[in-house]
Structure 1
Amino acid sequence: MIMKQLFGIALSSSLSISLLNHPATACSRILFNTDHDHVVARTMDLYMPDHPNVVAYPRGISRDGAVADSKTVRWTSKYGSVTVNSLGIATSDGINEKGFVANLLYLHGTQYENRDRRAGIANYMLLQYLLDVSATVSEALVELDKVQVVSVKAAGREWPLHISISDASGDSAVVEFVDGVKVVHRGKDSAVMTNEPPLDWQLNNLKKYSYFGGTESLPGDIDPPSRFVRASAFLKTVPVPKDTREALAEAYSIAKTVSVPRGAKNTSVGVSSEDTWPTLWTTLADASNRLYFFQASGAPNMFWIDLDKVNFTNGAPVKYVSGDDVSLAGEVSKKLKIFKNK
């Protein structure tokens, strides 16, 4: 299966052990809706390099859910997509040709449902499944009811995760697994997502701050609740953009307010002061115009892919560019390279 073979990397045992001893990722996601534009900005903050590749998948790819039992889900992709592949195995972010957007983030307290009779899908495969088969948030939520998300080790460890999804109409949802129960937040309360605690707690905590009826001023640290408050406040106060260019710029500017500089320390109670998770890359997904932007934190430039310029037909090759290539800039669909199985 292509997902299992694509960009495989060998991680040393010492690296795997270090990941087990540290909170691994602390990303942020912001949905910026206007009357005509629906833009998702997302940061990937990770304890170690994820060697991202921006991958264009055509329709018609056969996949399975990577769960080691006879009940793993099997499907064929209905829609083409452009995604970020992290750590050689996980689809961590992406948009499909219908403008459906999905983001995979870390949530330390995630507790998945007890295994039952439903077809299983590995948590790191869930985004690709939804991008392959869903054109809208409504369709994706129906698909989620058909399968069961199972925690499967990737890169030497298990990853407690939650997801956000949105579509070209501006509809949005956040899906979490709390105390073994699937929890779905849909609509305006799902515009911002960071990490732990779960979204219910984050929304309640928001009420303490001046922009949301409370008296406290905006926090400035890098902890997930503080990033959630800042992103929510700036999302509420930025001016209405005149056009798509301004919508993209404003979404990007909010993402930069919650990005984590290299060397910044986690100050959460009960967490080692040595724990860090710098922002590795940032994406912008323009669902209205089917544009997907990528910028590595170490790169001076942003590049993007216009999905209308990608060949998504059945049988077309899987193509990619490396997110570590700091020379990339502008629209890069012509620079996509064919992935060849070895």
Structure 2
Amino acid sequence: MTDASDSGTDLGHPAEAILDRDGLDALVGVLRRRGRTVIGPTLRDGAIVLDELDSADALPFGWGVELEAGQYRVRRREDGAAFAHSAGPQSWKSFLHPERVRQWTADRDPGGGVTAREETRRKVSYAFLGVRPCDLRAIRILDRVMSGGQYPDPVYLSRRTGAFLIAVECTEPGATCFCVSMGSGPAVDAGYDLALTEVVDDAGHRFWCRSGSEEGAAVLAELPRRGADDPTRTAAAEAVSAAADRMGRSMPPVDLRTLMRDSLEAERWDDVTARCLSCGNCTMVCPTCFCTTTEDVTDLTGDHAERWRRWDSCYDLDFSLLHGGPVRASARSRYRQWLTHKLGTWHDQFDSSGCVGCGRCIVWCPTGIDLTEEAHALHQEATRREGAP
């Protein structure tokens, strides 16, 4: 299938090409032979989840999703597309910033002394297949948070360094997607090794593939492929452009940072927190929430102890616990903290918004709270307040 007309990079490797389903399967094989653990979407237990892939056959060909606030359902598709589904319950954060990490162990010696051992980190070389544009942005945000400061996180660095990213442009947004509002999709711009755009039309099922790094170009050179053609490029661009016009949600067209800053005493907080369960689901599924806590555990004998780091949530009453009690004791203050940080004060810390518009927090909220609806309501309340005599 290789065509000599493939365009090349300085290395003589193709910068773009067209892959078919065999090419996609070859991609997984090449990455595994290079020692990569390939992670991608697959159908399991009634959801499209991220898991290790042995071959491209495990991808969810012919499956899509139906999303709404507090609702998620997979559905059959007629076109056999592999990536025509929206963000699932997991994000790549689960692999780069795991939910639980053991930090050290300690054992009491027979003589009464204690020996402590720092946890040995297993070397892993990931390849992420099917990274959505919103999730690609989320990884870049996590890079800034977890490795961009004075004290980079060693666990994150050990998993993120050298990870091979295969982005997939979005052609099928969900009803809860709003990446256009956050400037994070549906097209990809940078930060990938390979980028795919899936095209299914009368000319067949194929993937327009572009390299974004030297390693990406080298991998592409090993795959069965044919030269990129204008009809496929055009069909891919049109599909992505159409997706931008079909977003299920949007943010108000205002400076969200200013809106959050000026809405701290808004009445709307009472309305939303009357529905909020403070369960923390939104923080668990969010691809950029990063907070953790530590817990120490011992066995029944008291001779063995371990320290674990685990995800924490600002909805937890103990999250802001100080001597005398929690700083944010009410559900109102905890929801307000989450939303104003995500959309507002995140800029002060990390020079960007903490939201990428994936919509996971909307889908996986048990009561269907929609942060885009809340942002619109805060904007409307601010407009009324400004117009009041």
TM-score by length of 1: 0.24
Which structure has the highest strand share of the two? 1
Larger Rg: 2
Query: Where is the helix percentage greater, Structure 1 or Structure 2?
Result: 2
TM-score normalised by L of structure 2:
0.22
